[in-house]
Structure 1
């Protein structure tokens, strides 16, 4: 019979890539040192290559030249990366939220005339107070202020002040510009 160490001494040539084999009376798989070494070397090589591309690595042998300020790809994720994919998905989600916000303002807002220029021409716009919008929009999303800021940045809405606070800014008028 013998001990486990005596039995495994005769079975060291099993490759690590093949399914683990077990003796009938033992549940310990037998794996070759050669296979373990090859897998370790493979992982080590892949990790070293990855670290050369990692901007946070202390590896000074960087192969990729980092984009400089002013270049087209500066501050953007690598094309085809998961970061780029997540960014595009987030942009799509925010765009839908902005569209939903504009629709809510159209539905609950009031139509008013607004002076466009000095030639006395008027344009109709839709306005709503922040407090009223907050009451209606809170059931849709809890990120109203952030979506309002994004919509203002895109030129879709306008309001006074940099930030709106519930309670304090309930009477601030939000104007739909599109």
Structure 2
């Protein structure tokens, strides 16, 4: 046999290990350098450099980095809130009564169910302690309506809470909002 066909397996293996180890070390050094640079512009780190100011566009300001775990957790939280909004509306739909349309002002004619805040509070606290926050969110999305800025237990027990859309529309709306929130981020955050 000729020497051209003869290969030394150990030598080839050492070269391959050496190059893969070099690649790993290089990747680690790059990651460490980018982390050091990030710490210089992060105000809460111990290595903050006051001379280096981060620059943000209006769209980036106050938002997490795309692909980060923070962005992912925010989207998941938004999806959970949409689910809780739907659950609250389900409870109003189940325990509420049809409103007397003749006595309602024109802006509430589309209301499908009504329940007093006191009754809703009694039912919902068994499920969640975030009733007032979720109620505010459902009003913002025009799923419910009630008078006043915030409702308080005991003081506002007699305030009616109206469900403003048919339950099927609310389910569809909330499910789509939750899906949009989850799709807005990459599936594998950094």
Q: Give the Å deviation of 1:56.
A: 3.8
Q: Give the Å deviation of 1:116.
A: 3.0
Q: Is residue 48 of structure 1 aligned with residue 36 of structure 2?
A: yes
Which residue pairs with 1:144 in the alignment? 131
Hey, what's the Cα distance between the residues in 2 that align with 1:95 and 1:46?
A: 36
Which residue pairs with 1:32 in the alignment? none
Q: What does the per-residue CA deviation read over 1:135-169, in whole Å, with 9 as the maximum and x for residues that have no partner? A: 11111111111110111111111111111111111
Provide closer, same or farther for how the CA distance between residues 123 and 161 of structure 1 changes in structure 2, counting only shifts above 3 A. closer
Which residue pairs with 2:49 in the alignment? 59
| Structure 2: runs of 5 or more not aligned | 1-24, 166-190
Q: TM-score, normalised by structure 2?
A: 0.61
Task: Kindly indicate whether the alpha-carbon contact (under 8 Å) linking 2:116 and 2:160 is maintained by their aligned counterparts in 1.
Answer: yes
3-state secondary structure, aligned to 1:110? coil
Aligned 1:9-158 pairs, distance under 5 A: 45=33, 47-57=35-45, 58-60=48-50, 62=52, 64-67=54-57, 71-112=58-99, 113=101, 114-116=104-106, 123=110, 125-158=112-145
3-state secondary structure, aligned to 1:127? strand
Hey, what's the Cα distance between the residues in 1 that align with 2:32 and 2:140?
A: 47
3-state secondary structure, aligned to 2:112? strand
Residue correspondences, number: 131
Provide closer, same or farther for how the CA distance between residues 52 and 103 of structure 1 changes in structure 2, counting only shifts above 3 A. same
Please state which structure has a larger fraction of its residues in strand: 1
Task: Kindly indicate whether the alpha-carbon contact (under 8 Å) linking 2:110 and 2:164 is maintained by their aligned counterparts in 1.
Answer: no
Greater radius of gyration (CA)? 1
Which residue pairs with 1:34 in the alignment? none
Provide closer, same or farther for how the CA distance between residues 167 and 66 of structure 1 changes in structure 2, counting only shifts above 3 A. same
| Structure 1: runs of 5 or more not aligned | 1-37
Structure showing greater relative contact order (alpha-carbon pairs closer than 8 Å, 6 or more residues apart): 2
Please state which structure has a larger fraction of its residues in helix: 2
Q: Give the Å deviation of 1:73.
A: 2.3
